[in-house]
Copies of this chain bind each other. A is one copy, B any other.
Amino acid sequence: MRTIPAQTTTLTTTEAVALGVLAEGERSGYDLLKRVEASVGHIWSPAKSQLYAILPRLVDAGLARRRTVRQETRPDKQLYTLTPAGKRAVRSWLEHTEPRSFDELMLKVFFAKLVPRAALLAQLERAREEQLAALEEYRAIERNISGKPASRYGYLTLRYGLELMPCRVQWIERALKELSR
């Protein structure tokens, strides 16, 4: 069983998302999941059982507080709120960990109102560089195989990369422009 370190605050993506949603206000595990599915669900959606496993852990780590609401016809509700330490932890995740995928960057954008705008801009700029670097890499591969009787299917997947990277860069640049205003 994982114990979240109190000071070091290395959050997993799922923990960060849970805290990010809790930053909006008090929620039960049930509501939290609904909310996640309706917002960042296409990017990140943990299994129900995992959310229920994570929430008590957040409490143990001092990142969230729990309050029980008695109910008669249903199981008691466990309502969770963010503590100041919890807020610091999400912020630190948003600002200081580099996203491991583009989807994770999207999560950071989604929860960006929790951090100074400059922090988001920095994340976006770094991501932009990464996409451009990948594009360069793909172009180098393309140059390498052009002429040779390369695999047709391999080329198709490569082409997706060659189209996806500019699409991402464009999106990032527009976001940067709008956010800088």
Interface set of A (CB-CB < 8 Å, partner B): 39-40, 42-43, 106, 109-113, 134, 151-154, 156-157, 159-161, 163-164, 167, 170-171, 175, 178
Pick the residue among B112, B113, B160, B170 that contacts A171 (CB under 8 A).
B160
Given A113-B151, A151-B113, also A43-B170 (CB < 8 A): no
A110 to B159, CA, bound (A): 11
**B164 near A109 (CB under 8 angstroms)?**
no
- Besides A106-B160, A110-B157, 11 new A-B residue pairs in contact (Cβ under 8 A), listed by A number: A42-B161, A106-B157, A109-B156, A109-B157, A110-B153, A110-B154, A110-B156, A113-B152, A159-B171, A160-B171, A163-B167
Nearest-Cβ distance from residue A180 to partner chain B, whole angstroms? 13
A111 to B134, CA, bound (A): 22
CB-defined A-B contacts under 8 Å, sample of 22: A39-B154, A40-B157, A42-B134, A42-B161, A43-B157, A106-B160, A109-B156, A109-B157, A110-B153, A110-B154, A110-B157, A111-B153, A112-B153, A113-B152, A113-B153, A156-B175, A156-B178, A159-B171, A163-B167, A163-B170, A163-B171, A167-B167
Nearest-CB residue, chain B, relative to A159: B171
